[in-house]
Copies of this chain bind each other. A is one copy, B any other.
Amino acid sequence: MKEAITYELLHVCRQSGARRGVIHTPHGDIQTPIFMPVGTQATVKAMTPEELKDEVHAQIILGNTYHLFLRPGHELIKEAGGLHKFMNWDLPILTDSGGFQVFSLGQAGLRKITEEGVEFRSYLDGSKHYISPEKSIEIQQALGSDIMMCFDECCPYPSDYKYTEKSMEMTTRWAKRCKEAWTNENQGLFGIIQGGFYKDLREKSAKDLIELDFPGYAIGGISVGEPKEEFLDILNYTAPLMPENKPRYLMGVGTPDYLIEAAISGIDMCDCVLPTRIARHGTALTSHGKLVARNAIYERDFSPLDPECDCYTCKNYTRAYIRHLINMKEILGVRLLSIHNLRFLTKLMDRVRIEIENDNLLTFRNEFYKSYGYTN
């Protein structure tokens, strides 16, 4: 079976150990490390594909299996010619497995986990559904993403050792079933390392999944509410366990500091809804920290959101105008903030890639933290 997804290592930062690479996919190459915008319901909220390409310079986006399974349904998307065609996006797509949403959105008591799979009720209308490892792959194959994820259980934080161990072992058995269900050689499938905040479980999970030989690996189950030190501890322990010749994906991370730390630990890919979610609440990411656009101090501020930014929003609009739009609940306000926030993160990662090539990522991190206002 030919590999749909391959990884090419270009350079390792001599200062930080971060990786500069390229992921080859059926819909084109991805320069890594990369931040991936999330298109939950077959749309990156408020954005067109052209804006994602031309303004944000996104190289790959995510789709959410759970949401697309419920609405409009994976069979409908398959009939439409797959998710790329349905949403008019011709660059790579990664789909999650649905596991995270089943567990985090499933209401207590309305979700039943067995070895076979998970029964749950839709958050939309209460209807009953079932996702197993095989079903997750069936859905993701119908969607036609470039990168599929194994169906896994993401333990809540905190979870005790016993629960985490049992869950991680089931996730490994599910990964095996996912691999067996995977038939489309034009799609890749990544294994997800679980094991919570227990290093021996992380080690066991990585070892067992590597034996299954996936085209790529992810770290799941961190950045789920724990303190930053615990996040960094598990990240820095787990990332080096992942194969060097394959893509490494840290799931659900999107704050500037976590993205930089992920790169330093050797991670290639991250995703998060943060930039578009905070845009809808009127908040911008800037070189000098978060900016709450509706604040009265910006009422007559005719400077751009971030004077150091080159995005469409910052080239053409003032804080005063964006504040007005957000206060008036105008869609354009959300659009302008979404473009800016997404571009802020993709631009940050453009810079991270350059600093890796220059063997300078730790120096850059320290400067960035100072400018952004992080205490490091």
Could you tell me if B328 and A79 are in contact, using CB atoms closer than 8 angstroms? no
Residues of B within 8 A of A41 (CB): 324-325, 328, 330
Could you tell me if B318 and A80 are in contact, using CB atoms closer than 8 angstroms? yes
Please pick, from B46, B71, B321, B335, the residue contacting A80 in the complex, using a CB distance under 8 A: B321
Q: Known: A48-B335, A71-B324, A324-B42. Contact between A300 and B79, CB under 8 A?
A: yes
Could you tell me if B43 and A302 are in contact, using CB atoms closer than 8 angstroms? no
Residues of B within 8 A of A38 (CB): none
Residues of B within 8 A of A324 (CB): 41-42, 71-72
Total count of chain A residues near the partner, CB < 8 A: 34
Q: Is A10 an interface residue (CB 8 A)?
A: no
User: Quick one: closest B residue to A75, CB to CB?
Assistant: B300
Chain B nearest CB from A160 CB (Å) reads 37
Of the A-B pairs whose beta carbons lie under 8 Å apart in the complex, a sample of 20, sorted by A's number, is A41-B330, A42-B321, A43-B330, A43-B332, A48-B332, A48-B335, A71-B324, A72-B299, A72-B324, A76-B320, A79-B302, A80-B318, A80-B320, A81-B302, A86-B321, A88-B316, A88-B317, A331-B334, A331-B335, A335-B335
Residues of B within 8 A of A76 (CB): 299-300, 320
A 298-317 contacts with B by CB, 8 A:
299-300, 302, 316-317
Q: Is A277 an interface residue (CB 8 A)?
A: no
Residues of B within 8 A of A302 (CB): 79-81
User: Quick one: closest B residue to A79, CB to CB?
Assistant: B300
Besides A41-B325, A80-B302, 12 new A-B residue pairs in contact (Cβ under 8 A), listed by A number? A41-B324, A42-B324, A46-B331, A48-B332, A71-B324, A71-B328, A72-B324, A79-B300, A80-B318, A86-B318, A88-B316, A88-B321
How far apart are the CA atoms of A11 and B342 in the complex, in Å?
50
Q: Is A348 an interface residue (CB 8 A)?
A: no
Residues of B within 8 A of A80 (CB): 302, 318, 320-321
How far apart are the CA atoms of A80 and B67 in the complex, in Å?
43
User: Quick one: closest B residue to A331, CB to CB?
Assistant: B46
How far apart are the CA atoms of A47 and B331 in the complex, in Å?
8
Chain A interfacial positions (CB closer than 8 Å to B): 41-43, 45-48, 71-72, 76, 79-81, 86-88, 299-300, 302, 316-318, 320-321, 323-325, 327-328, 330-332, 334-335
Residues of B within 8 A of A300 (CB): 76, 79
How far apart are the CA atoms of A33 and B328 in the complex, in Å?
32
Could you tell me if A72 and B334 are in contact, using CB atoms closer than 8 angstroms? no
Could you tell me if B71 and A327 are in contact, using CB atoms closer than 8 angstroms? yes
How far apart are the CA atoms of A300 and B72 in the complex, in Å?
10
How far apart are the CA atoms of A318 and B42 in the complex, in Å?
13
Could you tell me if B47 and A332 are in contact, using CB atoms closer than 8 angstroms? yes
User: Quick one: closest B residue to A334, CB to CB?
Assistant: B331
Could you tell me if A43 and B320 are in contact, using CB atoms closer than 8 angstroms? no
Chain B nearest CB from A243 CB (Å) reads 37
Residues of B within 8 A of A327 (CB): 71-72
User: Quick one: closest B residue to A320, CB to CB?
Assistant: B80
User: Quick one: closest B residue to A280, CB to CB?
Assistant: B331
Chain B nearest CB from A49 CB (Å) reads 8
How far apart are the CA atoms of A42 and B302 in the complex, in Å?
15
Please pick, from B316, B317, B330, the residue contacting A45 in the complex, using a CB distance under 8 A: B330
How far apart are the CA atoms of A299 and B71 in the complex, in Å?
11
Residues of B within 8 A of A43 (CB): 325, 330, 332
Chain B nearest CB from A22 CB (Å) reads 29
Residues of B within 8 A of A72 (CB): 299, 320, 323-324, 327
Residues of B within 8 A of A335 (CB): 46, 48, 331, 335
